[in-house]
Amino acid sequence: MSMMNAAAPAPEVGETVATYAKYEGAQKAVSKLIEQNIPARDIAIVGSALRSVEKVTGRLGWARSAWQGALNGIMLGLLFAAFTVIWMPQLDMAMIGGILLIGVGFGMLFRILTYSIVRRRRDFASVMTVSADHYEVAVSHAHVSEARRLLGTTKPRTQVVAPPSNEPPRYGIRIADASRQAAPSDSQHPSTTPSDSSQASAPETKAGPTDPENGSAEPNDETQSRD
């Protein structure tokens, strides 16, 4: 690859400090930074998402092509006349007029020939411009904080997103509560001891009134009847 076809390296533009939708806004920001003693060589305007816009101005024809060629020929004739006057200061006005007419003739001829070649592929006149979706103002790393302060912009915060989990979502249940429910508590399910079961199975006997003389309990009427 030759040196003419090699792509030139992109210049270092620094860090973006502000973004504007129109080029005029970026121009005002650069002027403000320069007024506040930010070095101009450390500032850059970067246009992102470039696009070309071709505005059609009219249809081309033989007459229009001749008229445009005549206008271009006048400028060419004036240039030739100026050089002729410099070289020959005593040249009369008729000669200058002739030079202008020669320039007009060359301009018309060149334009008509050009139109005759391209008229089958392109029969309209247009103006092409290049615009960008938005414009970024960038400065070198040494002046990033100062430029942000002057323009009233802040560095965007980086949001950390948690990795996705395969566990289904839990609604209204905390992890601590779930662990407590998984382990049964002894207080909720009391155990029955052998002594309690024996006491519960023993029949109840009714004792009669106690004799105050001998201290023994009198037998019940039901036991006497059995005897």
Q: Count of domains in the chain?
A: 2
Indicate whether 44 belongs to any domain.
Answer: yes
Find out whether 137 and 16 touch, Cβ atoms under 8 Å. yes
Q: CB count, 10 Å around CB of 18?
A: 20
- Looking at residue 41, its pLDDT comes to 92
Range of weakest confidence among 91-95, 106-110, 141-145: 91-95
* Six-digit token string for 96: 């200058």
Which residues, in sequence order, are bridge partners of residue 54? Answer: 128
Task: State the CATH number of the domain containing residue 20.
Answer: 3.30.70
Find out whether 21 and 143 touch, Cβ atoms under 8 Å. no
What b-and-e string marks burial along 187-204, b requiring 16 or more CB atoms within 10 Å of the CB?
eeeeeeeeeeeeeeeeee
3-state helix, strand, coil in the chain (%, to 5): 45, 20, 35
- Whole-number average pLDDT of the chain: 75
Q: Does residue 95 share a domain with residue 71?
A: yes
Reduce the DSSP state of residue 11 to 3 states and report it: coil
Find out whether 90 and 11 touch, Cβ atoms under 8 Å. no
Confidence of residue 43 (pLDDT cuts 50, 70, 90): very high
Question: 114 pLDDT exceeds 80?
Answer: yes
Q: Does residue 44 share a domain with residue 22?
A: yes
For the whole model, what pTM was predicted?
0.45
Indicate whether 19 belongs to any domain.
Answer: yes
- Look at 162 and 33; give whichever has higher pLDDT: 33
Average pLDDT over residues 123-145: 89
* Domain housing 68: 61-122
Indicate whether 206 belongs to any domain.
Answer: no
- E strand or H helix that includes residue 110: helix 93-118
Q: Does residue 72 share a domain with residue 33?
A: no
- Look at 27 and 89; give whichever has higher pLDDT: 27
Instruction: Give pLDDT tens digits for 48-104.
Output: 888 888 888 888 788 888 888 888 888 888 888 888 888 887 777 888 888 888 888
- Looking at residue 137, its pLDDT comes to 94
Q: Does residue 116 share a domain with residue 70?
A: yes
